[in-house]
Structure 1
Amino acid sequence: MEEESPPLPDPDGPDLDQYVRDTSTKTIYGFLYRRRENPPSMVEIRAWAANELGEAHSQIDRRVRDLRTFFDVPAERIDGEYRYALRGWNPKRTGLVGAPITRRVRAEVLAPGRCAQCGRTPLTHGIVLVVDHRVPQAWGGDNEIENLQPLCEDCNHGKKDFYSSHDAHAEEIKQAISHEEPHRRIGELLKAFRGAWVPGELIGIVASAVQYQEDWQKRLREIRTLGWVIRSEKRYNEGSRVRTYYRVESWEPWPTGSISAEIRRRERSNAARRSDDG
């Protein structure tokens, strides 16, 4: 017989202190706790918390992600919009996904002494390095060393802001990441956005979630071999870099068995047809 999960801690009781220490995150927990029967959207959470706490949206989004360490707070589509429902405990409510980050692992991750994103170093630039999850824990990332990297605090905060902008799709992203084959991870992510433009950076993160993909763009192009219609668009007005976005307009069911094998088979067939036509 399955063991019954203990009740959630009262937001005004002492038990919550075991899991949530800062007052602001406790305040948001209390809001979600009281709204369990009528879960709020992220817009509602931000508006309420900004009024109560006076914090920026990125801080509020981060506190919701922090609550997910111990509590089950899925983004559920209700009445046409995503709402954040406090459903119970996170099944992995030890606060960790996988083994904890030991001092030895932390030292190994930070050993390069350089931010993996901007390249700055503590000695030359006076920055502080932190251990970052390449794939966030809220999206299914774990504490294995392959999922950890050194980032400076500035890049870490910027990355969190970028991730929080996709919180409405957190459950779909987590589902896409769960697949073994990179083609399926990319395709399921594009489908989850329902025809909306998806930034290339996000696709790269999801594509490399299980195993690093040096050329995830090639994997994306290969999906078109299966009959998928995927468009791309470059944007030149979003900072100093040109950003590429992708969206899927139509797709076919995944083949039975290995996707890579089926792609190779179709590529050979197409090449033979072109040779015959020539």
Structure 2
Amino acid sequence: MTSPSQCQHLCCQIPGVRSRSRSGCRLASELVESRPLPEPDSEELAALVGSTSQRLLYGLLYRRRSNPPTMVELRLFAAQALGEDQSQTDRRVRELRRYFDVAAERIDGEHRYILRGWAKHPAADGAPISLRRRAEVLAPQRCAMCGKTPLEHHVTLVVDHRIPQSWGGSNDVDNLQPLCEDCNAGKRDYFHSFEAHAEEIRKAISYDEPQRRIGALLAAFKGEWVRGDLIGIVASAKEYQEDWQRRLRDLRFFGWKIEHQNRYNEGARVRAYYRATVVTELPENIPTAIRAEEARRRRARSASTLED
């Protein structure tokens, strides 16, 4: 049996780890995936992790695999090297865990963060965005939400999916936009609040007609209020809908009852909310059915005018 002092596995180079194994050694396969981790400055990592701050934090974890850092060290690094508030460090680690196995283990009385390898169940983000497309999306050098720029406001821009890939969004350029890290984090947190409806949203996005997408979304919320910007995102899943509110009103042709309210207590902006209180089955060919209903209503109005 190989003794701990002779073993060259990564696990035997981490203080306090080898004592937990029966053989005095953890096999390397228990700590890292067979696929090599990307180098901190590699194009592979840049294509996978858009945030510069996250890549720098990954670099620290990568270099310190034989001497894993504590959270205190990670926060100090975030403050000194990244210029970030230390409260952001936990979130950065969580975001890295979407792709990598970053374990918190108690070693010699301290919790240390070990970059073990690739996550066993990585985020379902599909293929990485090519560097050329990433450059194309970031070319405006302005956040699509708040308008801040790296030059004037010293923000870092990342490539954002308008419709998350976990909801069926693609890497097509029409589904990508530049966002600053703060707006990107806020948008991600907002979308995460709908995780309970993720499967229904994914199904709604798959439909071809915008009216059917909107209807499926409202139906999934079962009479709960739905924010207008989420409806707009789902309505524009296949093609941009400049007037998605009209597509929403189209549902009333088929007996849907939809309520609307504005909320003024959500920051500086007025938020529009909608909910469906009556839901009916939609016809197979929605555009044809709408035209037929519009023609019927025109005839009814004409007949009413003649009677008067």
Same fold (TM over 0.5): yes
2:206 to 151, 167, 178: 178
- 1:14 deviates by 2.9
Instruction: Identify unmatched segments of 5+ residues in structure 2.
Output: 1-28, 39-53, 55-86, 101-119
Q: Which residue of 2 aligns with 1:25?
A: none
For residues 128-166 of structure 1, the C-alpha deviation after alignment (integer angstroms, 9 at most, x for no partner) is 111000001111111111111111111111101111111
Q: Which residue of 2 aligns with 1:125?
A: 153
Give, in whole Å, the separation in 2 of the partners of 1:233 and 1:120. Answer: 30
RMSD of the alignment, in Å?
Answer: 3.5
Q: Which residue of 2 aligns with 1:250?
A: 278
Q: Which residue of 1 aligns with 2:30?
A: 13
Q: Does 1:261 align with 2:288?
A: yes
- 1:16 deviates by 5.0
Q: 1:14 corresponds to which letter in structure 2? A: L
- 1:64 deviates by 11
- 1:65 deviates by 9.5
For residues 165-192 of structure 1, the C-alpha deviation after alignment (integer angstroms, 9 at most, x for no partner) is 1111111111110111110000000000
1:216 to 230, 244, 263: 244
Contact 1:96 1:143 survives alignment (8 Å): no
Select the structure of larger CA radius of gyration: 2
Q: Does 1:236 align with 2:264?
A: yes
The count of corresponding residues between Structure 1 and Structure 2 is: 216
Write out aligned runs for 1:183-194 (5 A): 183-194=211-222
For residues 50-77 of structure 1, the C-alpha deviation after alignment (integer angstroms, 9 at most, x for no partner) is xxxxx99x949x759937x9xxxxxxxx
Contact 2:125 2:166 survives alignment (8 Å): no
Write out aligned runs for 1:1-278 (5 A): 13-15=30-32, 18=35, 59=91, 66=98, 96-97=125-126, 99-256=127-284, 258-278=285-305
Q: 2:225 corresponds to which letter in structure 1? A: W
Q: 1:175 corresponds to which letter in structure 2? A: K
Instruction: Identify unmatched segments of 5+ residues in structure 1.
Output: 1-11, 23-54, 70-88
CA 1:101–1:252 in structure 2 vs 1: closer, same or farther (change >3 Å)? same
Structure 1 consecutive aligned stretches of length 4 or more whose deviation exceeds 2 Å: 12-22, 62-67, 93-97
Q: Which has the higher contact order (CA 8 A, sep 6+)?
A: 1
Q: 1:271 corresponds to which letter in structure 2? A: R
CA 1:198–1:65 in structure 2 vs 1: closer, same or farther (change >3 Å)? farther
SS at match of 2:98: helix
- 1:18 deviates by 5.0
CA 1:59–1:250 in structure 2 vs 1: closer, same or farther (change >3 Å)? farther
Give, in whole Å, the separation in 2 of the partners of 1:218 and 1:262. Answer: 15
CA 1:260–1:241 in structure 2 vs 1: closer, same or farther (change >3 Å)? same
Contact 1:65 1:138 survives alignment (8 Å): no
TM-score normalized by the length of structure 1 = 0.68
Give, in whole Å, the separation in 1 of the partners of 2:236 and 2:303. Answer: 37
CA 1:95–1:18 in structure 2 vs 1: closer, same or farther (change >3 Å)? farther
- 1:230 deviates by 0.9
Contact 2:259 2:275 survives alignment (8 Å): yes
Give, in whole Å, the separation in 2 of the partners of 1:180 and 1:65. Answer: 34
SS at match of 1:13: helix
Give, in whole Å, the separation in 1 of the partners of 2:140 and 2:269. Answer: 26
TM-score normalized by the length of structure 2 = 0.62
CA 1:172–1:148 in structure 2 vs 1: closer, same or farther (change >3 Å)? same
CA 1:228–1:109 in structure 2 vs 1: closer, same or farther (change >3 Å)? same
SS at match of 2:160: strand
Give, in whole Å, the separation in 2 of the partners of 1:124 and 1:232. Answer: 39
Contact 1:179 1:185 survives alignment (8 Å): yes
